Amino acid sequence: MPWLELSLTIRAEQQPRVEEALDDLGALSVTLQDADAETPDEQAIFEPGVGELPLWPTITLNALFEADTDRRGLGEALGDLLPWLEPDHIQFRDVADEDWERAWMDQFKPMPFGKRLWIYPWNIEPPADEDIVVVRLDPGLAFGSGTHPTTALCLAWLDSLDLNGKSVMDFGCGSGILAIAALKLGAAGAVGVDNDPQALIASTDNAQRNDVADRLTVFLPEDLTADPADVFIANILAGPLGELAPTFAAAAKPGAPFAISGILQGQEDELLARYAEWFHELRVDTQEDWVRISGRRR
């Protein structure tokens, strides 16, 4: 079933009123994007806090309507609700329907990390091979499928460890991919921590699909009660990594291997200096423009 898409460019302060008007007119969905995307003025917004909605100064707003919606009538009604809106700022186009989950599945192929670990989508059956470790993933509510370099760096690091019988803490667990991989690689138990309740739901769901839910416990940061872990990993952004270094040190046992990622090249020196107080044997590995720092708890 096709759809009618209405697009217009507005200022950030106009967004609430415009979105309310579109909702009143029967919009089925509304999406926002940076009006300066793919230009030198593009601004990235990464991982806002729960309940936060940071916006770009200028926004392109796209609303979907039923395909048979009267374009002229819709434009006139929107003009009545938003008298300041110029008619030539409104654009319409037809959008073909698509099975977005199937499109994701078609693009997501089996991926190896290290010597043993593979990430497989649910639509592809892995081979019966005792020499590989398989994590199965579905589209979820939170980031983390292995396709991003930071996730890939963390997965390869986990694959390099002997995790048998160990406890693992995954801070910023997202989809749960790292904690689940650790459990599939032999960890006795894993703790996933994230400030987004949806991430905890996605992690638990993916753990159930991989038959390791009985060994995974998830927490919001303020509710964390787990003991220090034998292995610690965090894949978040450089700013929070710096702020949370003392917290991470307290969450790792003495001598515990640790790795942090979500770091752009050029950000690692400050973090190396910050973490040297609590961790040693520090090393840097890179993939594309991203960095992983690893070492051991002092």
C-alpha span between 116 and 112 (Å, rounded): 7
The annotation status of 151 as a binding-site residue, yes or no, is yes
Contacts of 210 (CB under 8 A, 6+ apart): 135, 136, 180, 183, 184
Q: Within 13 A of 219's CA, how many CA atoms are on the CB side?
A: 14
The annotation status of 194 as a binding-site residue, yes or no, is yes
C-alpha span between 73 and 4 (Å, rounded): 13
Contacts of 161 (CB under 8 A, 6+ apart): 185, 231, 257
Residue type, 132: I
> Quick one: residue 144, left, alpha or beta (phi over 0 = left, psi -120 to 50 = alpha)?
left
Cross-strand bridge partners of residue 59:
10, 34
* Binding-site entries: 151, 172, 194, 235
* Binding-site entries for S-adenosyl-L-methionine: 151, 172, 194, 235
